[in-house]
Structure 1
Amino acid sequence: MGVAAAALLAGGVSAQAALIDFTAFPVGTPGPLMGSVGGISWTLSGTPQQVQVPQACDGPANGLACVNDGVGISGPEITGNGRAYATITFSQNVALVGAYFYDLFIAADGSNAEIAYIAKGMTDTIPGDVTVNADETFENNNGFKFQDGFKLVGDTFSFFVDPNGNDNVGRPDAALAALDIAPVPLPAGGLLIASALGGLGLLRRKQKAARLANA
């Protein structure tokens, strides 16, 4: 049993990232949004008002469900000049390794651009831990942006928009579409404990076999 436990714990280190797709919720679903992935439950809420999915998807991107156009707060998007932010809380620590946004644009003349941020904890403190810069010029396609190449470990993460960046059309804003999360690797100390348990179990079996042989 000890050996099996060690194998299971070690196996969790190499497990693949899982997708949480907020665009799969039906339009009009009230916040907070809730779900689970890999046995880990999560809740997505909003500040200062609740998250919303009030708008149909403009166009699919990167394999997302595209039932709705991503999460907003008090509207179809998270606004920067309203100091609004969305927060996801997990039932245990995870590694956040990817984020998907819609409606993140560069101004048509290239003079300005919308910027989203990702941060550990419940916060909207700029610049956050990860900066997400727009790739698409307004109004080209759907403002989709996939950000990876980072790893934030914790049980709470926030998403917000810079009030100073803009596409020069309306307000600085963006919609949170999806997240990639991965299991947190077991600390080295935990692996040592699991290995020790496995060794102890093996030793006990050998001792029992020796006693039976000498009986």
Structure 2
Amino acid sequence: MKTLSTIAALLICTVPAGAATFNFGSAPNAGSNTWTVDGVTTKATAGTYRDFPNPDTIICSDCETVTRNSSGLGVSSHLFDTGDIDGSVKNDLLTLTFNSVVNFGSVVFSGWGSGDSFDLFIDGLLVDPEERAANSSGYYSLAGLMGTSISFGADAGLLGGSFDRYRISSIDVAPVPLPAAGLMLLGGLGGLAAMRRRAKG
């Protein structure tokens, strides 16, 4: 029984699964803007959102076109668009939807400028603070955030000031372990122990 108690303790203290890194600049398209890395699948969609006065309003989540080049993922929302995620004409939104709940690790932006900022949505809800800035190399930590989708928005700023412009180069995520799987295994081990006791008796 001591062995079962030890196994139970190990199962309850589940160890997080390894991180999956999506490098969008070099990853081949797998069709429909979908990629799989280490068993984690994500699909990219493009849309637009309202910034002022209601920054938490996503106008559409799959009404624009996802673009991809060696710098990463972007959004095309009009005829003369550069394909970057930007706040020119419309507030672009790029959403990554995962096949399960994940812990978000970090994101790297390409084409990031000192005046750029982004709005962050998890599962369609704006995460405060509204305007966020990566470091000079485009790196931003997402530690502590968890969900099935993450969206990055770019806007023109208050009163139509200079607009944000960047691409998503890469993102790190880690699948959230399912406690139910550990409990099922524990139940199976308990059943085996009971059968062993019966066989001895």
TM-score normalized by the length of structure 1 = 0.65
Match of 1:176 in 2: 168
Q: 1:185 is matched with which residue: 177, 181, 184? A: 177
Match of 1:76 in 2: 83
Deviation of residue 89 (structure 1)? 1.3
Q: Is the contact between residue 78 and residue 174 of structure 1 (CA under 8 Å) also seen in structure 2?
A: yes
* C-alpha distance in 1 between matches for 2:30 and 2:178: 36
Deviation of residue 192 (structure 1)? 4.5
- Indicate yes or no: 2:65 matched with 1:50: yes
Residues 82-120 of structure 1: per-residue CA shift (max 9 Å, x gap): 2111111112211112111111211xxxxxx21023321
Same amino acid, percent of matched pairs: 23
Counterpart of 1:85, as a letter, is: L
Q: 2:156 is matched with which residue: 148, 159, 163? A: 163
Unmatched runs of 5 consecutive residues or more in structure 1: 55-67, 107-112, 137-143
Deviation of residue 42 (structure 1)? 1.8
Change (3 A) 1:51 1:149: closer
Q: 1:153 is matched with which residue: 131, 146, 153? A: 146
Partner of 2:72: helix, strand, or coil? Answer: coil
Which structure shows the higher strand fraction? 2
- Relative to structure 2, which stretch is displaced further, 5-14 or 156-165? 5-14
Q: Is the contact between residue 69 and residue 177 of structure 1 (CA under 8 Å) also seen in structure 2?
A: yes
Over 3 Å off, 4+ runs = 5-12, 29-32, 127-132, 189-194
* C-alpha distance in 1 between matches for 2:43 and 2:21: 15
Deviation of residue 135 (structure 1)? 3.1
- Indicate yes or no: 2:198 matched with 1:207: yes
Change (3 A) 1:31 1:135: farther
Residues 169-198 of structure 1: per-residue CA shift (max 9 Å, x gap): x742111111101020334x6644542332
TM-score normalized by the length of structure 2 = 0.69
Partner of 1:203: helix, strand, or coil? Answer: helix
Q: 1:119 is matched with which residue: 97, 118, 121? A: 121
Change (3 A) 1:86 1:129: farther
Residue correspondences, number: 173
